[in-house]
Amino acid sequence: MLTMNDVIREGHPTLRKVAGKMTLPLTDEEKDLADKMLEFLKNSQDPETAEKYELRPGVGIAAPQVNVSKRMIAVHVPSDDPEESEPEFSGVLINPKIVSHSVQQTCLSEGEGCLSVDREVPGYVPRHKRIKVEYVDIDGNTQKKRLKNFPAIVVQHEIDHLNGVMFYDHIDPDNPLALPDDLEVLGSAE
């Protein structure tokens, strides 16, 4: 299983590289990594397992974060309806590409963090409120998904890692908590 020891931290050059496209079909090693990335997220969201293996909770992870500079991400976004056991969006996205997005931007009220950043970096991280993402799933099928709000923010954070971009690159250094009137804060109106 993947643990925090496998997660590289800021300063490691791989986090600033543009990751390479994956060729299909995936090798068994790549399939194994895909499974391990998704398993890591599920483990990290299970209080017992997270505590036992000292995992920081995560809703997303990108292959470069485990020092594999390839365009693969995993997301496991639980539904925000406690009754709903099914996750809102969960899976592995290979060669993900945002093919269109809204003009409207949104951000998380609490800002963002990153498993590769061992410090708090306060500030709003503007993201597209709605995106259409095209990717190949673990079975080799091309998928097109429309996402909005939290799942859309998670996928954008992960795709940034594939392009060597860190969440704090989007924070206004002069006024981190600036709220331009066209920037909606998720959790406020929603």
Q: Which residue is nearest to ligand NB4 (CB)?
A: 57
Question: What counts of helices (H) and strands (E) characterise the chain?
Answer: 3, 8
Which lies closer to ligand NB4 via its Cβ, residue 23 or residue 67?
67
Strands 105-108, 183-186: parallel, antiparallel or unpaired by DSSP?
parallel
Among residues 2, 33, 61, 159, the one that binds ligand NB4 under rule CB under 6 A = 61
Is 170 annotated to bind ligand?
Answer: no
Dihedral sign from CA coordinates of 66, 114, 97, 146: positive
Q: Which does 112 bind (CB under 5 to 8 A by kind): Ni ion, ligand NB4, none?
A: ligand NB4
Q: Indicate the residue among 35 and 110 with the shorter CB distance to ligand NB4.
A: 110
C-alpha distance from residue 15 to each of 18, 63, 68, 76, 164 (Å):
8, 10, 10, 21, 5
Instruction: Work out what residue 129 binds among Ni ion, ligand NB4, none; the CB cut-off runs from 5 to 8 Å by kind.
Output: none
Interaction of residue 70 with ligand NB4, rule CB under 6 A? no
Touching ligand NB4, residues 4-43 (CB under 6 A): none
Number of Cβ within a 10 Å radius of residue 29: 9
Please state the length of the chain. 190
- 3-state DSSP assignment of residue 46: coil
Binding site for Ni ion (CB under 5 A): 114
Q: Which single residue is written with the structure tokens 């594999």?
A: 68
The nearest distance, CB 7 to ligand NB4, in angstroms, is 8
- Sole binder of ligand NB4 in the list 71, 128, 129, 161 (CB under 6 A): 161
The least CB distance from residue 46 to ligand NB4, in Å, is 8
DSSP 117: B
Q: Which residues bind ligand NB4 (CB under 6 A)?
A: 45, 57-62, 65, 78, 108, 112-116, 153-154, 157-158, 161
